[in-house]
């Protein structure tokens, strides 16, 4: 089976405050489009995961840890 993430919510932080939130539907996340700078914090919230089995059938999969956080270097 393969997995895909159909929707994400990305929040960027600078100097202790939020600089914006953007919802992304499928595809890829381009950090340059978020106008991040060195030292900025990024939090990605996974809003859903889909599992595609060998027959091509799609079903929802549970998300155990929906948040991913990191800093831009």
- Per-residue pLDDT tens digits for 33-68: 888 999 999 999 999 999 999 999 999 999 999 999
Statement: residue 4 has pLDDT above 80: yes
pTM beyond 0.85:
no
Specify the pLDDT at position 28: 82
How far is 26 from 48, CA to CA, in rounded Å?
10
Specify the pLDDT at position 9: 95
Task: Let me know the angle formed at the C-alpha of 44 by 39 and 49, rounded to the nearest 5 degrees.
Answer: 155
């Amino acid at each position: 089976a393969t997995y895909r993430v159909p929707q994400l919510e990305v929040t960027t932080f600078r100097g202790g405050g939020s600089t914006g939130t953007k919802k992304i539907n499928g595809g890829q996340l381009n950090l340059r489009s978020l106008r991040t700078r060195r030292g900025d914090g990024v939090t990605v919230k996974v809003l859903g995961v889909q599992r595609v089995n060998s027959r091509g059938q799609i079903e929802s999969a549970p998300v155990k840890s929906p948040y991913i956080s990191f800093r831009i270097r």
